[in-house]
Structure 1
Amino acid sequence: MTAWYEQSFGEDYLLVYKHRSQREASEQVEAILPLLQVKPGSRILDLCCGTGRHAVELAAKGYEVTGLDLSDVLLSYARRHSRCLPVTYVKGDMRALPFPDEMFDAVLNWFTSFGYFAEDRENEKVLSEIARVLAPGGKFFIDFLNRAYTVKHLIPVSEREEGDIRIREERFVDGDYVKKKITVAEGSTHRTYFERVKMYSKDELQAMIERSGLKVDRILGGYDKMDYTEEAPRMLFLGRKDRRVTKGGSQWKD
C-alpha cells in the first residue's frame, strides 16, 4: 500500500497550498536566521524543502543551500522557480539522508514536515539523521504544530474555489494523529488525498530530539518569537548538535 506522503505531494498539492506564499517564507526566514546565528556561506540543508520557498530565500542571503524532498513534482517546481540562485535539489527520504556525516552547518525543517510516520521509531530516525549530517556545533530548527492548540482550534471543514476547481478540506483528530481529507473537484472529476501527522507534546518531542544527540536551546510559540505556551499555535524548536553522531550510534565529544 502506498503511503499517504507518496500520493499527496503532487500537482494538486501546488493548488491546495497555493496560499503558502513566497512572502510568507521570506518573513519566516527573516525571523529565524538571527536566532540561529548561522554565518553567510554556511552549508544549510532545507529538509523536506517542497517547492523551495525557503531554500531560495536562504540562497539569496549567501548560504550554500541543499534542498531535499521525496516528491518529484515539488522538486521539479523548485528547480523551475529557483530564480537562478545556486540551490542544489536532491530527492531522498528524510529517514535515510543521502549525505555524509557532518556535512551541514544547519538543518532547517519548516511547515510541519515531521511526524509523517505511524511508528515513533521511524520519526526518531529523522531526528537521528539530522544529528548525523550536522557538523559538531551545527544548528537545527524544527517547525511543528502545537498539539494542545491544534486539538482546541481545529477547523473541521473548509471549502474554497480556485477558478473552476473546488477544494474541500476535512480535518479531525484520531487519537495521537491529526488527519485531513482533501477533495479536489474539477467538473465531474473528484480527486481525493489524505494527510496524517502524529502529534507530540512539547515534552515528548523535546525528549525525542535530545535522545538523538541534539540539544534544544529554545522553544518558540510562533514566528512572532514569543516563547512557547500551550495557547501558542506552533512549537518552533531551535538548538544545536553537542555530540558526534554517526550511523552506528553516538558518542559525546571530548
Structure 2
Amino acid sequence: MSEKNNTTHSSENQNTSNWFESWFDTKYYHILYKERNDEEAQLLMDNLTHYLNLPEDARILDLACGKGRHAIYLNSLGFDVTGIDLSENSIKEASKFTNEKLHFKVHDMREMCNEKYDAIFNLFTSFGYFEDDADNYKTIKAIHNSLTETGFAVIDFMNVDYVIENLVADEVKSVDGIDFHIKRYYKDGHIFKEISFEDQGQQYHFTERVQALRLEDFEKMMEEAGIYLLDIFGDYKLRKFYKNQSERLIMIFK
C-alpha cells in the first residue's frame, strides 16, 4: 500500500469499517505515536506476567502487536512470544527482531490462531475498531479459543467514562517536523480522533474511531461467549478499577 494512496482519507470518504487498515499501515501513524511511554508499558507487562504467575517457558501471543514493542519486551523476559497484526508494514518492521523465541506474522484478530497460547495480551486499546458488534464478539471468541486449557487472556482498554470526562478537544503535536492537528470528540457511541497534517506539500487527514465500550459491554460479550472474567484492574500498577477515576480498564479472563 503506497503512502500516496493514503493522502486524502477523510471521515467522509474513508471506508468506515476498516479505517485502521489504511492509517495503521502508514509511516505517519508510527511517527505520531513514536514517543509512547515504553516504561509504562513495561510496568504493565512486568505486573501481568507476575500476577499470572506464567512459567518461564510460557507461550505468549501479543494480539495487534504493531511494530512489536510489547512482544520484544516480553521476549526479553524469556518468554516464547508471537506477535500478530493486520498491518503488513508493521509486521515487516517487527520481523527485524525475530529470533528462535520471537515471531511475527500478519493475522486478523477476528480469526482463531492455529496454535494455543498460555497467555494472550491485547494491549493499549487495540480493540473496538470494528463497526459491527459481531466482529467484537468474534475477536473475543477467537482469543478464548486460542488459549491453552490453563491459559489466561488480558484486554487492556481505555476506561471510557474517564476518557470522555478528560478529552482534550484540540491539540497540535509536533513530531519530526510535522505538525499533527488533532481533534477529539465523543459521538454515536464512539470516541473519534481526527488527525490532519501536511508533509512535503501534501495534505493528509485520518480519523481514528474506537467504540466506547464499557465494562458492562465486555461482560455481556464474555457471558455470551462462555468466558470467565477473573479480575478487573484500573491502571498499569494493577490497582482497583473505579468507573469514574481509573485511566484504564484491564480485564483478565479465561
| Secondary structure, aligned partner of 2:228 | strand
Instruction: Quote the Cα distance in structure 2 between the aligned partners of 1:139 and 1:52.
Output: 20
> Quick check: 1:146–1:232 contact (8 Å CA) kept in 2?
yes
Q: In the alignment, which residue of structure 1 is the partner of 2:114?
A: 99
* 1:83–1:128 CA distance, 2 compared to 1 (3 A): closer
Query: 1:47-62, aligned counterparts within 5 Å?
Result: 47-62=63-78
- Output the CA distance in 2 between the equivalents of 1:83 and 1:66: 9
CA distance in 1, matches of 2:208, 2:76: 32
Q: Which amino acid aligns with 1:236?
A: I
Aligned to 2:102: 87
Matched residue pairs, number?
A: 237
Contact map agreement 1:131 1:213 (CA 8 A) in 2: no
Aligned residue identity for 1:61? L
Find the aligned partners of 2:185 and 2:227 in 1 and give their Cα distance: 32
Aligned CA distance change for structure 1 residues 168 and 85 (closer, same or farther; 3 Å): farther
Deviation at 1:25, TM superposition (A): 2.7
| Residue 135 of structure 1: how far off its partner (Å) | 1.1
Deviations 1:135-168 (A, max 9, x none): 1121111001111111111111111212321111
Identify the match of residue 202 of structure 1 among 203, 215, 224. 215
Deviation of 1:171 (Å): 0.8
1:171 pairs with 2:184 = yes
Distance 1:22 1:221 in 2: 18
User: Is it true that 1:116 corresponds to 2:132 in the alignment?
Assistant: no
Contact 1:45 1:65 in 2 (8 A): yes
- Give the 3-state SS of the residue equivalent to 1:107 in structure 2: strand
Q: Which amino acid aligns with 1:16?
A: L
- 1:235 is matched with which residue? 249
Aligned to 1:251: none
Q: Percent identity?
A: 29
Quote the offset at 1:29 in angstroms. 1.1
Q: Is the 8 A contact 1:221 1:228 kept in 2?
A: yes
Partner of 2:29: 13
More off after superposition, 125-134 vs 15-24: 15-24
- 1:234–1:21 CA distance, 2 compared to 1 (3 A): closer
RMSD: 1.7
| CA shift for structure 1 position 84 | 5.1
Q: Tell me if structure 1 keeps the 8 A contact 2:152–2:252.
A: yes
Give the aligned partner of residue 198 of structure 2.
185
- Partner of 2:85 in structure 1? 69
Distance in 2 between residues matched to 1:25 and 1:154, nearest whole Å: 21
1:203: how far off? 1.6
Asked whether the equivalents of residues 31 and 225 of structure 1 are also in contact (C-alpha less than 8 Å), the reply is: yes
Alignment of 1:28-47 (within 5 A): 28-47=44-63
Alignment-derived partner of residue 248 in structure 1: none
User: In 2, distance between residues paired with 1:167 and 1:14?
Assistant: 12
Which structure has the highest strand share of the two? 1
**Once the two structures are superposed, what CA deviation does each residue of 1:106-128 show, in whole Å capped at 9, x if it has no partner?**
11100101111112111110000
CA distance in 2, matches of 1:239, 1:35: 13
TM-superposed CA distance for 1:198, in Å, is: 0.7
Q: Is the 8 Å Cα contact of residues 105 and 139 (structure 1) preserved in structure 2? A: yes
Residues 165 and 187 in structure 1, CA contact (< 8 A), matched pair in contact too? no
- Look up the SS of the partner of 2:111 in the other structure: coil
- C-alpha distance after superposition, 1:191-229 (max 9, x if no partner): 111111111221221221232232111111111221111
Task: For residue 225 of structure 1, give the secondary structure of its aligned residue in structure 2.
Answer: coil
Give ranges in structure 1 of 5+ residues lacking alignment.
241-254
What residue identity is the alignment partner of 1:204? Answer: D
Note the residue ranges of structure 2 that are not aligned, 5 or more in a row. Answer: 1-13
Asked whether the equivalents of residues 40 and 236 of structure 2 are also in contact (C-alpha less than 8 Å), the reply is no
